[in-house]
Chain A
Amino acid sequence: MKQTARIISTYSADIFGVCSALFELGGMVVMHDPSGCNSTYTTHDEPRWFDTESQIYISGLTEMDAILGNDRRLIDDITETALLQQPAFICIVGSQIPAMIGCDLPAVARIVEKNTGIRTFSLPTNSMHSYVHGVYLALEALAGMMADSAAREPVSPRHINVLGLTPLDFSVNGSAESICRWLAGNDFTVVSRWAMGSSLENLRRASRAEVNLVVSYGGLGAARVMENAWGTPYVIGVPFGSMKKRLLPCLEPPFDHAYPAARPFSSTAESVPEKNIYLIGESVFSSSLATALEDELHCHIRVICPVETEDRLLRPGDLRATDEIDLEPLFSNASAILADPLYEPICPAGTPFIELPQEGFSGRLYRKYIPDLIASSCIRDGIPELQKIPG
């Protein structure tokens, strides 16, 4: 039956995606939820929690407040804390129960903003979508704020923003830095990184960029806002292996707007084989990696995207499937599977399984084994197990 998981994990939720995207920007994020969300996010999904004083809090919603529609306590608690801690902005996100009872978080945000004088906004999360949806909403909202309020700077040639960086997709293993190093090595100046390794001030200068590089679905909403507001073009893809060469020309004027990762890459294989090599993960990350691997290994790889995306971010033949019940039949016909280790229990015995841990799925469990696949030109260096893939 759909929606059941006998043995596999579940993806991080939208509410945590918001927290992850906004974590480094000096704002306050309030999860309107009874309990649990805060420790879940900060234990499993936030590798920066131990050292960084980010203001991520939970409201502690009670049954009576939910039944009586008492938003006063939420408003007062946020107001009092914000006045003491003076965050750069306040973001209020709801989990399942606030969504179910129709809690008017935009109204709460307006009142808090009036009380504190601090820019406050809410996002329509409900804990029933995956983290990529939350990252998308958060970065899109931030871009909207910048477009509305930040002074537009003159565009500088070869200046670029990187959109869609969070530890949930890229961990804290140096991948974000590797992307920036690669850009710098190709004479680009990175204006801002949304949102790992940049301050809110850096983000305010995003209009200076000549082009945006979208490295996950989560960055796409922000890219669209910037395109509409400032006319900044965007290119989609992660610079793994051969993707570096594919992406570079697109980042040059007149800027290829045709979404490299979604382009129908011709497989280097003569024809699509009967048995598939599957790669499971977020769409932009996985499509880019699959393309680079196809170039490197001369094989055909199908991406299975289990989280929110748009069809055009997937390549022809790629799939969308989330539930265990949908994945098992696909896996039964696989010649190899590249996926997070928590998928392995549904991988048929004898089918090569290549571990590709992802924080968005297994949290911190395999964090130390997540390779930076962007640093080197050869992906095999980061995943020695690729030799298991049948020739």
Chain B
Amino acid sequence: MLQKINGKPSRAVIKLRDAAFPAPFPHTLEYSPPARGTWNIVHTGMLVPESHQIYICAAGCLRGVVLTAAEMGMMDRFSTLEVREENLITKDNETFIIEGITSILRRLPKLPKAVLVFTACVHHFLGCNLRYVYSCLRKRFPQVDFAECIMDPIRQTQSIPPEARERREIYRLWKHRPRSTASINIIGSNLPLDRNSELSCLLENGGFLLRDMTACRNYEEFQSMAQSCLNLYQNPFTHLAAKDLKERLGQDYLYLPQCYDADGILAQLRDIGSFLGIPLPDFYEPLEKARKALQLAKDTIGSSPVAIDLSFTFRPFHLAHILCRYGFHITQIFSDIITKEDEPDFLWLQKHHGDIDLIATKNADLRLFRRTSPEKLLALGQKAAYFNDTPYFVNLVEGGGLWGFNGLCRLSSLMMEAFRTPKDLRRLIQKKGWGGPCCL
């Protein structure tokens, strides 16, 4: 059912009760709101220490990734090979890529340990023989590890999304090492896991060395993750990489989807404890602390409307569900899709809070969205903040590295702080890659 926004009917807003799982909005022209905090493939690639990225595509495609690197202040780890018109017609593209990358690598002050090469949609359509390309590059530069990434958004809905492929290729850089049963990895995240989380404490107190990909300081540290016995991950773009590591290196994996409810957190802790054979401590105290923190946040925020968006967490419906149970007045969820993990929460919300507005973030009609809220509104996430033009927002993305009961305490604290203290919306949300280096 179309609702009116700004006096015009909009395809971008529906009531939750009317939404269909998993794609509540029909495809149409897409709009891009100016909330830029989420990480892109350049940001993620820069997490590989001592690596270099090379993108091969048209100027229009290069523009966004080049300037991402520039805004990170990391142009010295970034190069490009520009595909021009003649390349589509007259050139041997395999040779063009091989010689282009060779030329770039020979002009670098020193050879990087690893090179993340990003070919593009165009190479798929040209039928470019990338196997041959990488075979030649590896012969020419045996001391360099090449990651075969692809920036091919044209295939993102029908094949492997570039973010998922990139993670798989990054972890394919790992070489076999003797297995250590005392070492466990956190993989796939862009942001470091909270070291005070119950997960970190459980593993460290159990005598395990926790290796977080985001904390690797050099290539050797990155490679040493190959010896770990278990990969833990929260980022859903990591499924492919985790399965690939299991197949290739025999590393087990556990997916720990972002979780905001006590039962779910305890279940994840039990899974880890059971897998590693470590006894679980009593989590009553942190659980109670988290419950009280959320209650305090509720008392502070009261019945003021709260909006959540999909850049804040990979599980916006789950978070909305939990906050509703604590009595928060959730009025809007900004999300273009509903993931499988969120399906039960979505169904619960439909049944009990069907009046919540479900709002797309990319639909063209959002361009005419009236960016205002009649009363003080707390936004969880940059897009929810932008569309409501509210300075009262929690500014983090992708869950912010929060985990478990400690994460809930931190979240509650951030919500109260955001509700009390206005932020500079325009300045904060336009920065790319929240939590990463930024020169703006």
Contact = CB atoms under 8 A, between A and B. Distances in A.
Contacts of A36: 61, 64, 151, 153
Contact of A80 (B28, B34, B82, B125): B28
B29 A59 contact: yes
Contacts of B154: 34-35, 61-63, 66, 97
Contacts of A10: 59, 62-63, 66, 80, 82
Contacts of A54: 367
Contact of B79 (A4, A66, A325): A4
Interface string B99-125: 110111001100000000000011011
Contacts of A363: 63, 67, 70
A11 B59 CA distance: 7
A19 B285 CA distance: 56
A240 interface: no
24 contacts: A3-B84, A4-B104, A5-B79, A10-B66, A11-B59, A13-B58, A16-B63, A34-B152, A35-B30, A38-B30, A40-B67, A50-B426, A55-B364, A57-B29, A63-B154, A63-B155, A63-B159, A84-B11, A85-B364, A97-B154, A100-B88, A127-B60, A128-B84, A365-B439
Nearest to A13: B60
Contacts, number: 198
A6 B76 CA distance: 8
B64 A43 contact: yes
A129 interface: yes
B432 interface: yes
Contacts of A130: 59
The 6 closest A-B pairs by CB, nearest first: A127-B60, A40-B64, A13-B60, A35-B153, A1-B103, A34-B154
A145 interface: no
B156 interface: yes
Contacts of A126: 58, 85
Given A81-B364, A96-B122, A364 B85 contact: no
B71 interface: yes
Given A4-B103, A81-B364, A12 B63 contact: yes
B421 interface: no
A173 B61 CA distance: 27
A108 interface: no
B28 A81 contact: yes
A33 to B, nearest CB: 8
How many residues of B sit at the interface, in one of the four size bands?
A: 35 or more
A158 B432 CA distance: 46
Contacts of A303: none
Contacts of A66: 125, 154
A60 interface: yes
Contacts of A59: 29-30
With most chain B CB atoms within 10 A of its CB, the pick from A101, A130, A365 is A365
B368 A6 contact: no
A105 to B, nearest CB: 15
B79 A7 contact: yes
Interface in A74-131: 77-78, 80-81, 84-85, 95-97, 100-101, 126-130
Given A34-B121, A85-B368, A365-B71, A58 B80 contact: no
Given A1-B100, A57-B31, A362-B70, A37 B60 contact: yes
Contacts of B83: 3, 96, 128
Contact of B9 (A39, A60, A84): A84
